[in-house]
A and B are shown apart, each in its own frame.
Chain A
Amino acid sequence: MPHWSWWAGGVALALVPIANWVLLRRILAVSGRFTALVDRLRHGPDEQQEEMSTEELIAALREATAREFGEDAVQPEAPAVATGSQPAQPATSLGVHAIFLLGLLLGGLASALLAGALEPTASLHGTLFASLSGGGSLPAAPWLLAGGVLVGFGTRMAGGCTSGHGLCGVSRFQPGSLLATVAFFATGVVTSFALGALL
């Protein structure tokens, strides 16, 4: 796979949240889309549709207040009312999240096809990973499954991942995002050095 130079990559990486904001008026936040879909799987479609979302109500009240009395009258938004059990993204229909996630997959596919580098494997590409997993697809599974569980658990617990916290939260100087980003980079570094000893 041909890689862009670091600066071209940085510009492109910034354009994604910008496009997301300009087109959809939302902060790019991918783990939140996972959360919305998982909640739908957990609770089923009926409950989801009937539920009048608190967040939606608050947002509407906030907008009305701003219209009536100006932006200054609107208090800084209180910490999210949603708990772990409530649907995280009630304002957007779930099909849209599924389509976004499918888009990520198609983007990877397009990149590989255009580069003529589509080489399907049951494992991951890369020699370092191969030496970690022993080169086979089956030995790779435990690493990937365990890593995946930690990614899903951790991003939901922290309320964000690399996109919502790392890119969009840090650039907006959000305290929760700064802390989460420092935390995941730190443990990523420690874990990778530990893995490096095994390679």
Chain B
Amino acid sequence: MTARVLNGAVGVGFGFVLSRIGFTSWDDVHRMFTFADLRLLLSFALAVGILTLGWLVLHRLPGSRWTPRPIHRGTLAGGALFGVGWALSGACPSIALAQIGEGQLGALWTVAGSTAGNWLYSVVHERYFRWTIGSCADS
């Protein structure tokens, strides 16, 4: 029960933050990728900088799982495909859901697509690939 409340709370906070930063705006994401407006990039860079310092303390908390992210054969290609998808849809997996909440119901297509794409990859991987992909398995 507690886990549900805490997960829900972090989710709500993340959705709110993405919305107020402007990450849920297709236009703003487009301007970020074309360097027409550096606001989103600066926010992202600052967050990474704060986290870099933060981990120095945070990873010492008891019960921490410091999951490594090694390079594997899907890293480059997968990242590259994701970037094309982000630029087209204006959304990464979290953003699409926050967009729906904001009333941008076109993002239902994005979520449908990303669910299908995730599924499709798991099928393709089983049939054709033989490497371990790791996963965002740590949340």
CA distance A79 to B10 in the complex (A): 27
Interface residue tally for chain A (C-beta within 8 Å): 137
Q: Is A88 a contact of B33 with CB atoms below 8 Å? A: no
CA–CA, A162 and B88, complex, Å: 15
Among A9, A128, A143, A174, the residue within 8 A (CB) of B68 is A174
Q: A83–B132 contact, CB under 8 A?
A: yes
Is the CB–CB distance between B106 and A101 below 8 Å?
Answer: no
Q: Judging by beta carbons under 8 Å apart, are A171 and B89 in contact?
A: no
Asked if B79 and A182 sit within 8 Å, CB to CB, the answer is: yes
Q: Quick one: given A26-B65, A107-B16, are A125 and B25 in contact (CB under 8 Å)?
A: yes
Residue among A22, A93, A153, A167 with most chain B CB within 10 A: A153
Q: Mark B37-55, 1 if CB is under 8 A from A, else 0.
A: 0111011111111111011
Give 28 CB contacts A-B under 8 Å: A4-B43, A14-B51, A34-B114, A92-B3, A101-B97, A103-B11, A103-B14, A108-B16, A110-B101, A111-B15, A111-B16, A112-B101, A124-B90, A147-B86, A147-B91, A148-B116, A151-B117, A155-B92, A159-B75, A163-B136, A165-B69, A169-B69, A171-B55, A176-B72, A179-B76, A188-B87, A189-B35, A191-B87
For B109, the chain A residues whose CB sits under 8 A away are 140-141, 144-145, 148
Q: Secondary structure of the A side of the interface?
A: helix
Residues from 34 to 67 in A contacting B, C-beta threshold 8 Å: 34-36, 38-39, 41-42, 55, 59
Chain A 116-167 residues near chain B, CB threshold 8 A: 117-129, 137, 140-141, 143-167
Q: Are A155 and B17 in contact (CB under 8 A)?
A: no
State the CA gap A42–B115 with chains docked (Å). 11
Question: What B residues does A140 contact at CB under 8 A?
Answer: 106, 109
